[in-house]
Amino acid sequence: MLSAGDQIQSRDKKNASKTYDKNEIEYAGYLSPSLLKSLPVATAIGNHDAPSGNYSFHFNNPNASELGSTMAGGDYYYSYGDALFIMLNTNNLNIAEHKKLIEKAISENKDAKWRIVTLHQDIYGSGEHSNEPEIVNLRYSLIPILEDNNVDVVLTGHDHTYSRSFILKGGSKNESKLITEDEFDAYIDGETPIDSKYNEYLTSIEDPSAVTNKSINVTNPDGILYMTANSGSGSKYYDLVQTQQSYIAARWQEDVPTYSIVDITDNTFTINTYRTDNGEKIDDTFTITKTK
């Protein structure tokens, strides 16, 4: 099982000791299902995990590195079948450290057919966090490294909404623009105080030139697929931005927990995503095929 981060909710960025007990109760709740006693679990460090060391009490990550570290720990990687999974703690914004970890993981797993990166922040998402300055910074600085290292898929969370991008590569980064007051309501509900503050700094990255393939069945794609997972527990949901971005192929939010099943062979990567209440799919089956 793979989680894109935020195994807990409670946090105090200035004084982690204030939420120590709450953190432990929430980690205990996360790990309480009997199935997790025998199921391998790989977790990314979310922004709610990052400020304290409690995370490291519960997860013994393989190939753990000090690169990309916060109080919770750093980047790590592992191989599973035909895939190399690279887990980045992007709460640490030192991109040079993430680059070192990615290159180290790949150099030690040269025969891996698939390169899959997981990080918490949704660098190509469609929720309310997706265009905050921190996310935009990651989009500009981390994506060229992912592309240079031929990453196939990026799995993210953070926004508690579901989205799937088109296959993306490059793009004209100069198309970023500050949202004007007239445009603001098309992206965020300006009537609510918590969203109104976004008007001061929200940027929209509409990057149509980055889209290289719009199919749901792609062969030898030139670019990366970006997936953002909705809440798997139902503990919290966010809204989608009102205008679907040009890089988003599909998105969904009905305040129902969802989960994705990924099937990987030596030449195919397939993902399906389902509702937990009735088992219905919320998106088309998406498949990447490699013939070379």
Question: With helix as H, strand as E and coil as C, how does the chain read?
Answer: CEECCCCCCCCCCCCHHHHHHHHHHHHHHHCCCHHHHCCCCEECCCCCCCCCCHHHHHCCCCCCCCCCCECCECCEEEEECCEEEEECCCCCCCHHHHHHHHHHHHHCCCCCCEEEEECCCCCCCCECCCCCHHHHHHHHHHHHHHHHCCCCEEEECCCCCEEEECEECCCCHHHEEECCHHHHHHHCCCCCHHHHHHHHCCEEECCHHHEEECCCEEECCCCEEEEECCCCCCCCCCCECCCCCCCEEEEECCCCCEEEEEEECCCEEEEEEEECCCCCECCCCEEEECCC
SS3 letters for 107-120? HCCCCCCEEEEECC
Q: What residue ranges do the domains of the chain occupy?
A: 2-289
Question: What are the distances in angstroms from CA 229 to CA 3, 93, 118, 223, 257?
Answer: 9, 21, 11, 20, 10
pLDDT value for 128? 85
pLDDT at 203: 40
CB 205 within 8 A of CB 136: yes
Q: What are the tokens at 206? A: 């509409």
**Cβ atoms of residues 162 and 284 within 8 Å:** no
Give, in order, the Cα–Cα distances in Å from 42 to each of 19, 25, 38, 179, 279.
24, 20, 13, 37, 24
**pLDDT of res. 14:** 61
> pTM of whole model > 0.85?
yes
Which tokens hold the place of 188? 């965020």
CA 78 to chain centre: 17
**Are residues 122 and 86 in contact, defined by beta-carbon separation less than 8 angstroms?**
no
Q: What is the pLDDT of residue 212?
A: 82
From residue 222, alpha-carbon distances to 44, 165, 213 in Å are: 26, 14, 8
pLDDT at position 72 is: 95
Mean pLDDT in runs of 10 for the chain (292 residues)?
92 68 90 91 95 92 97 97 97 95 98 98 90 81 93 97 93 48 53 46 54 91 95 89 87 96 97 97 98 90
In angstroms, what CA-CA distances link 277 with 230, 254, 258?
14, 11, 9
Selected from 3.30.420.80, 3.60.21.10, 3.30.70.120, 1.10.3720.10, the CATH number assigned to the domain covering 2-289 reads 3.60.21.10
Instruction: Write the single-letter amino acid at 17.
Output: S
Asked whether the beta carbons of 89 and 55 are under 8 A apart, the reply is no
